[in-house]
Amino acid sequence: MKSQTLKKFILCALLATCPFLVLADEWQTLRGCTFVPNEWNDGDSFHVRHQGQEYIFRLYFADTPESEDSLPERVAEQAEHFGITPTQSVQAGISAKKETARFLDAPFTVITRFQAAPGRSKMTRFYAFVIPSPARKDLASLLIEAGMARSFGTVAKNDLGLDRQHYDMLEGRARRQGLGFYSTKNLSVETPKSSNTLPALASQEVEPVDVISKTNSELNDESFENLQKEINRTPQLFSPEPVKKLSESTQSPEVKEQQQSGKINVNKASAEELQSLPGIGEVIAENIRKNRPYANLADLALVPKIGPVTLKKITPFIEFE
């Protein structure tokens, strides 16, 4: 009996002092959060204050370029993804950092289960979905959609209609349209031109959606039911967009063949189609076209600027015949 009493006492003490230690598996909605300026903030990781408590939150699914060069390998990887130089990538990171700060200048909502995110800060970082006000989409979607972040990083098993496919679709569209950091003409000393698209994206009117589906029994527990009640008080936070398909008249035979197989043929695809693959920018797409044909992944690995990380990312989406 004394042992059970002691356990309850310890549990209550932990809950009172460090709620995220006890509720790490339960999704929680933090409303009225404010952005805290900090020199170590990034476009995808930043300090937040909620009810007097300061946190560091890291976006699920999204990765903006580093805003300084203390991690040269990571900077080089990000630069390869966007098809720009490492120096331009750091410049892009600074722009994304400024845009995130500007985008969160009004109270916003954080949805998190306090899953720890590795980092170099003394404070523990936590992964989260961040919903700016009055945006109808989460911040990760807005940044990726504007070409200021890539679909990358830790995923969250959720019932919010947000998954890797959603973010990959946004990234592919931004790449094809040359938005944000996918075009060097948008990189300047100040904020890139694409930053002007964010407020417009945030103000788009969308149809109400049922944010959380109750068909997934695995996620339909008490914590998600509570989260549903919280989110439904502010409808239209999330608005997944349908993928726009090319009309039959504009589709090439190669594109139709790819749609049937569900994969892109690296020996036939156009530069635009190759750039829809994760991690493939203008430079790598052109290198792929120049070095055709390919019989297998080993051949493709010899293409200049294709590293093992990029090769692993595109493997599920390509074919050779």
Domains in the chain (CATH in brackets) are: 16-232 (2.40.50.90), 248-319 (1.10.150.320)
**Beta carbons within 8 Å of 85's beta carbon, 6+ residues apart:** 79
Alpha-carbon gap, residue 118 to 99, rounded angstroms = 23
Segment among 97-101, 160-164, 178-182 with least mean pLDDT: 160-164
Specify the pTM.
0.56
pLDDT (tens digit, 9 = 90+) per residue, 34-89?
999 999 999 999 999 999 999 999 999 999 999 998 889 999 999 999 999 999 99
Q: Which helix (H) or strand (E) holds 251?
A: none
DSSP-derived 3-state class of residue 91: helix
C-alpha distance from residue 111 to each of 36, 127, 199 (Å) = 17, 9, 21
pLDDT (tens digit, 9 = 90+) per residue, 234-286?
333 333 333 333 334 444 454 444 444 468 899 998 888 888 888 888 888 88
Q: Check pLDDT > 90 for residue 118.
A: no
Query: What was the pLDDT predicted at 253?
Result: 54
Q: Would you state the structure tokens that stand for residue 246, as one six-digit string?
A: 């090319």
Query: What was the pLDDT predicted at 123?
Result: 87
Average pLDDT, the chain: 75
